[in-house]
A and B are shown apart, each in its own frame.
Chain A
Amino acid sequence: MDSALIPEGVQRCSFRRFIIWIAILHVPVLIGVVGAILCWGLALNQTNMNNNFPFGLWIAADLGVIALGGGAFFTGFLRYIIKIDDLKNIVNYAVVIGVICYASALGILAIDIGQPLRGWFIFWHANVHSMLTEVAFCISCYFMVLCIEYLPLVLENRQIYKYAFPHSFAHHLHEAMPTIAAVGVFLSCFHQGSLGGVPGVLYGRPFAYREGFLVWPWTFFLFILSAMACGPTFTILITKITELFSGKKLVKNATIDILAKIAGGLTALYMVLKIMDTLGWFNLVKKAGAPVSSFYANQPYGYWVLATELGLGVLAAIILIIRPLRQNQPLLILACVSNCTAIVMNRWIMTVQSLAVPVMSFDKFVSYHPNWVEWATTLLPVWAGAIVIMISYRYLPIFPQERELNPYPL
């Protein structure tokens, strides 16, 4: 039925099967939409957030998807600025994943601000001393950059590409891609860093506060490095999941290996710096008279959280930097899952756990458990993202090696 729209020389499932899957994915999407409407219609008292936890699941998820979406800027940097030509075979998919991650981040923020009609206030009444304002500026601009990077892919759809103007426009956008990628790198470095800077400058919360360089706490640099390390592994992971569902090899192992090797080196460097930062913080709080154990005295935020975060990161680094290990496909997937889990845990720790740790002697530990509205709205982008990936994979030439890897008898 839609065969005229499918890229030439590749095979896709029947239109009927495709539509059934899209319809199935719309069920959880609609549940998420109900949650969003409840928040916008009846206010944020529909959630389990309160004065102790103004940052909850939404902000942790926001920071998580932004780190995971870091694969788009970093792969673009390696492809267009460092000129690693082999990455042209995966950079398109990194852009699609980036668009989904940043659209998710903006969507979650639109619910979290409670009054989306006042969303433009952050641009018009900007507090230029706030790291969150910088984050809002950068992620809005970077989303535009990602949309511009995604545009040539849409224009390369078989039916659109036949026309002279879209064909030529896509060609010139490809030519401008190094400049667009450079703008993306500039914006990403600042917003990834500023997201780390937000907890790092909270001198009233010793669990999160860090010393640093000039106005930037160490968490600023750790967040940039962790996004560069984990973004490519998330791209690899989603590529592997797409290969599993499509039943096809879509990207050659050599391309994946280059990305995994670079991610491994960066993960190893990040883990060394993260462990140094943790030990330095242990020393700092001990000197200030607060025993380290007091920060981990309340379950579920015991020492196990720190050990799991560091353990998963070290495991990922070891697998990714040792060649025979990363070339073993199940181990590569394990490393990608470990790395992504460790980074999402880190974002949860730096937002929610930071708020959970009592600060004053009269403070009591209060726990926070997100309710169904928060879970449904947070998971909404996962299902919506799956729909975007399905549509993009079906109609756009995302994987340049697909035809070569899967010869389709015409």
Chain B
Amino acid sequence: MAAENVFAETFDLQTPGAFPPEQIHTPCAFVSAVIPVSRKQALCNEYELIEHYVED
């Protein structure tokens, strides 16, 4: 909540609606970017930024 930008790194990117609303701990308004990575990529540091709403 306090950070200017929040990058969520995930091995398992789900489509919107996959999680029950009451089980979401960090609502999307707090997340600036989502970075899907495979476990192999995580080790190699080769990330792909697929979506971002980084503030100006």
To the question of whether A and B form a pair in one complex, the answer is no
Identify the A interface with B (CB < 8 A): none
Identify the B interface with A (CB < 8 A): none
